[in-house]
Structure 1
């Protein structure tokens, strides 16, 4: 059902003749199967984006680490809930 709706939208958007839609139509067409996968799995990359946000915050707060192990340890501590920026600050 989702495939039919997506194809119908692609056809309707193509028939509008709006040039600004050209890049969007190409993007949707190129990723058609991946878009439909979301309807089957319900999964998105939101969790991974959240994890990346935590890692970037840890890196920004530290302004550099001596080695990879220290960064990894701080990421584990921050994402585990053992330290929280408000209630239980992480060690520097």
Structure 2
């Protein structure tokens, strides 16, 4: 019906929905979006900006694990 109407804005909207149809259905069924992934990406980009480069890729990956891994460290209150 949209294509028969010849209204360009409706046709564009229908084509957009067709292109993203599987993602729309996946969201409706699971209610999961990529917000968590975007948050992790933001933390990784911040770590990259803080240091302005790493000596090697292994150090950078370790920093990503350190920042995004939600590690808890129990530091001693005092040293004996």
TM-score by length of 1: 0.61
Moved over 4 A (4+): none
- Equivalences, count: 70
Cα deviation, 1:35-70, whole Å, max 9, x if unaligned, reads 011010111111111111110000011101111111
Of stretches 54-63 and 29-38 in structure 1, the one that deviates more from structure 2 is 29-38
Q: Higher helix share goes to which structure?
A: 1
What value does the CA root-mean-square deviation take over the aligned residues?
A: 2.4
Question: Which runs of 5 or more residues in structure 2 are unaligned?
Answer: 73-80
Alignment of 1:33 onto 2:22: yes
Q: RCO (CA 8 Å, sep 6+): is it higher in 1 or 2? A: 2
Moved more, 73-82 or 36-45: 73-82
Residue of structure 2 in register with 1:69 after alignment: 58
CA distance in 1, matches of 2:35, 2:47: 19
